[in-house]
């Protein structure tokens, strides 16, 4: 389960070729594109179309089976005119990207075509990707709800809208270059969404933010930025946006919270980060990536302004940081109080044990057989109600790459 319906429709992937390292892709098909949720949005997707430029997978499952599926992944890609390639060693490709850094790519299907001139390849980051995905008109969701939030659409995922509206928010969504500073007095808070590409392309937004964050004390309104929103607020606060050599992508990025000392597992997709060296007085680092040490968010020391480079709205990915929407809305309802994140419950006391049985295959990395560790984890889940001999059959089946339910026999 890799969440490809959500990822492919995430506007943050505009202009990118999406490569999935999961060994098999397509086995659960694609949901119905016409199903609408209670907010008037496509229920199972993050926008109204696929934004990725192409999809590369290793083993494509032509047969799909899921209660929610209405078509295959291949049919959906064909329907949207998006190229998809299978039988690609995606783990080898991932290792190359990991060693060499993010790079430009193109899909060639004519084996007899002359060698392309790679010097003429178009760099998506050199185009205004945010302008391509941002709304062109003002849209209101949850009309009549209690808390009024102005949202600047840099390529906003639908799940952000869902997360806010279900929390009793009337959300007014405006284009990326909208002059929102003059209208913020009519709202309880300001939100800036995720989006693709280079934040330096959006200086019109930054200039509006500079007006907002330097407003008089009696005009302060809480501000929350996610992903691209974090980078734009970082620029307005005096930071600089830098291209990361690799970027942070995927559903398991560890992030440290400097306020609470906690670590979160987050979903991310970004190629730029904010250098916080020259932040203006009053601004501090709030989050840091535990892998590469890059900035993952900033906050103001006295005003209710904070950001997150990662995706608290998930879809797809872990929901560990969804509480940040509540943190933002608490500030909208009590704007004079500083931002405070809730602390998770203390860990339970360690059990007094003398022997431990570990199932697994040891440490793995991209390019190795992580499915074996997965089989060990599944074995732990079933061992409470499966006879030991049945458990052994299960493990042997997993390790031989056969379908467990097809050869699941008692000895």
Active site residues: 227
Q: 49: which residues sit within 8 A by CB, 6+ positions away?
A: 9, 80
Rounded Cα–Cα distance for residues 217 and 266 (Å): 34
Integer CA distances (angstroms), 283 to 42, 129, 176, 211, 301, in order: 38, 28, 24, 16, 6
Rounded Cα–Cα distance for residues 50 and 14 (Å): 9
Report H helices in 176-291.
203-213, 228-236
- Cβ 86 vs Cβ 60: under 8 Å: yes
Rounded Cα–Cα distance for residues 181 and 176 (Å): 12
Which strand ranges, in their side-by-side order, compose the sheet holding 283-289?
A: 139-141, 169-174, 147-152, 189-192, 223-226, 305-308, 295-300, 283-289, 240-257, 263-275
The first and second tokens of residue 103, run together, are: 């790079």
Other beta carbons less than 10 A from residue 200's beta carbon: 16
- Cβ 104 vs Cβ 121: under 8 Å: yes
Rounded Cα–Cα distance for residues 131 and 273 (Å): 20
Which strand ranges, in their side-by-side order, compose the sheet holding 84-85?
A: 17-19, 54-56, 84-85
The first and second tokens of residue 158, run together, are: 């639908």
Residue with tokens 């969504």: 173
Integer CA distances (angstroms), 305 to 234, 336, 407, in order: 11, 11, 56
């Amino acid at each position: 389960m890799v969440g490809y319906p959500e990822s492919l429709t995430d506007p943050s992937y505009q202009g990118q070729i999406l490569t999935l390292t999961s060994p098999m892709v397509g086995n659960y098909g694609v949901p119905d594109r016409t199903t609408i949720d209670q907010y008037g949005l496509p229920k199972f997707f993050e926008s109204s179309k696929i934004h990725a430029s192409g999809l590369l997978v290793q083993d494509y499952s032509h047969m799909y089976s899921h209660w929610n599926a209405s078509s295959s992944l291949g049919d959906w890609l064909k329907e949207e005119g998006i190229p998809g390639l299978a039988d690609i060693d995606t783990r080898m490709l991932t290792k190359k990207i990991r060693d060499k850094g993010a790079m430009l790519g193109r899909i060639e299907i004519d084996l007899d075509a002359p060698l392309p001139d790679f010097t003429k390849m178009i760099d998506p980051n050199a185009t205004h990707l945010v302008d391509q995905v941002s709304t062109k008109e003002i849209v209101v969701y949850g009309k009549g709800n209690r808390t009024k939030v102005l949202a600047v659409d840099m390529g906003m995922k639908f799940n952000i809208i869902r997360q806010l509206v279900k929390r009793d928010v009337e959300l007014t969504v405006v284009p990326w270059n909208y002059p929102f500073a003059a209208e913020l007095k009519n709202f309880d808070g300001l939100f800036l969404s995720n989006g693709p590409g280079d934040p330096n392309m959006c200086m019109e937004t930054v200039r509006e933010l500079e007006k907002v964050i330097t407003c008089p004390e009696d005009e302060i309104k809480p501000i929350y930025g996610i992903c691209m929103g974090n980078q734009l607020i970082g620029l307005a606060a005096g930071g600089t946006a830098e291209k990361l050599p690799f970027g942070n992508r995927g559903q398991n990025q560890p992030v440290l919270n400097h306020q609470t000392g906690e670590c979160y597992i987050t979903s991310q997709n970004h190629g730029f980060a904010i250098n916080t060296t020259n932040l203006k007085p009053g601004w501090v680092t709030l989050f840091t990536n535990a892998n590469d040490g890059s900035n993952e968010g900033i906050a103001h020391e006295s005003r209710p302004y904070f950001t997150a480079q990662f995706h608290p709205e998930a879809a797809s990915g872990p929901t560990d940081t969804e509480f940040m929407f509540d943190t933002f809305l608490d500030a909208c309802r009590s704007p004079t109080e500083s931002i405070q994140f809730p602390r998770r419950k203390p860990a339970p006391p360690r059990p007094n044990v003398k022997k431990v049985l570990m199932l697994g295959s040891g440490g793995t990395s991209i390019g190795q057989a992580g499915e074996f560790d997965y089989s060990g984890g599944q074995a732990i889940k079933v061992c409470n109600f499966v006879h030991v001999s049945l458990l052994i059959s299960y493990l042997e089946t997993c390790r031989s790459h056969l379908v467990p339910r097809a050869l699941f026999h008692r000895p």
